[in-house]
């Protein structure tokens, strides 16, 4: 059973999403605004690419070329996830013919920051949404050795098992 606060949050989301989709800014189409600029979308902790589907649609309607990070559920070893994001940045920069913007939500913003710092030659800019500004998960190999609660998560895209 859900707690009262969770129920209120879910109700607010159910009410607000339709309002957002009807808003004039959401409906506006500007196919030349993004001029084909590539954007790699990095989901938050415990979420997959589907969680940024609305952001992807909004960007696409404005002429950007969004691409999912393809890092699975964003759980596991930070270094390995950043490696995957870096490879995705390489692929998308090659596809679009120029450096890309990395857009990350929550932990995805932190991972995107690490990838952008590693490869400034691939990154034109960084957008973080609700991301921590300090180091919540240091980019070391130590978490990779951990099994604990993440045991068996590899089937969902985590390298932690």
| Predicted local distance difference test score (pLDDT) of residue 29 | 77
pLDDT mean over 84-94:
98
For the cut 90, the answer to whether the pLDDT of residue 15 exceeds it is no
Section 135-153 average pLDDT: 49
| 143, 148, 149, 154: CA torsion to nearest 10 | 60
Stated pTM of the model:
0.74
Taking 70 as the threshold, does the pLDDT of residue 136 lie above it?
no
In CATH, which superfamily holds the domain spanning 35-156?
Alpha/Beta hydrolase fold, catalytic domain (3.40.50.1820)
Least confident range from 2-11, 73-82, 149-158: namely: 149-158
- The string of pLDDT tens digits covering residues 31-86 is 888 999 999 999 999 999 999 999 999 999 999 999 999 999 999 999 999 999 99
Contact 39/98 with Cβ under 8 angstroms? Answer: no
């Amino acid at each position: 059973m859900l707690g009262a606060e969770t129920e209120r949050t879910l109700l607010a989301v159910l009410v607000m999403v339709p309002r957002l989709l009807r808003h004039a800014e959401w409906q506006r189409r500007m196919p030349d605004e993004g001029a084909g600029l590539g954007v790699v979308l990095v989901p938050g902790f415990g979420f997959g690419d589907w969680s940024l589907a609305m952001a992807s649609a909004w960007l696409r309607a404005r002429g950007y070329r969004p691409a999912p990070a393809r890092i699975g559920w964003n759980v596991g070893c930070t270094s390995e996830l950043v490696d995957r994001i870096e490879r995705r940045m390489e692929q998308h920069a090659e596809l679009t013919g120029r450096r890309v913007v990395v857009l990350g939500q929550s932990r995805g913003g932190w991972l995107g920051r690490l990838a952008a710092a590693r490869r400034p030659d691939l990154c034109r800019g960084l957008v973080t949404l609700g991301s921590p500004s300090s180091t919540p998960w240091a980019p070391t190999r130590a978490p990779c050795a951990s099994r604990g609660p993440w045991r068996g998560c590899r089937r969902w895209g985590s390298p932690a098992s």
